[in-house]
Amino acid sequence: MPFSIPRLWSSTWAAFRRPSVESPVASSVSAETGRIRIAVPTVCLFEVAQLEERGSIRLRTSFDEWCDAIEGDAALLLLPLERRHVIEARALPTLRDPFDRLIAGSAIALGVPLISPDPQIAGSGRLQVVW
């Protein structure tokens, strides 16, 4: 089954399937989940945790329940961080955010598109970005 990697508009995108994060794109993306499997790098979970702690996003459930929902969703594939993902992330020095680098590096290492609205990631020229 083909898959792609969401960035954390990306990880929060994964939350859109189970409306646990407020988002204007929730309804437009959910129709696609039946056709592809979305890979969610584990580092995205920590990014969501930090965004919630800072008040940048609001989960409708506890963080643990949100993680359980991600793990239990057949349309999502939780990916561990691997050395090859870090190697690819190191080759993206123009991306200053460490989460952006790790998530983009994961997509590059796996040879899959990244779901992201971030023009800086798209401008890296090293990976296909879909939004």
Q: What's the CATH code of the domain at 25?
A: 3.40.50.1010
Of 75, 77, 102, nearest to 90 (Cα)? 102
Q: Which residue has the tokens 């993206």?
A: 92
Q: What are phi and psi of 60, to 5 degrees?
A: -90, -5
The one-letter amino acid code at 62 reads S
Number of domains into which the chain is organized: 1
d(Cα 32, Cα 105) in Å, to the nearest integer? 24
Question: Which pLDDT tens digit goes with each residue over 22-56?
Answer: 333 332 344 444 456 788 999 999 999 999 999 99
Tell me the residue range of the domain where 24 lies.
Answer: 3-130
- pTM value? 0.72
Q: Is the separation of the CB atoms in 58 and 19 below 8 Å?
A: no
Question: 67-114: per-residue pLDDT in tens?
Answer: 999 999 888 889 999 999 999 999 999 999 999 999 999 999 999 999
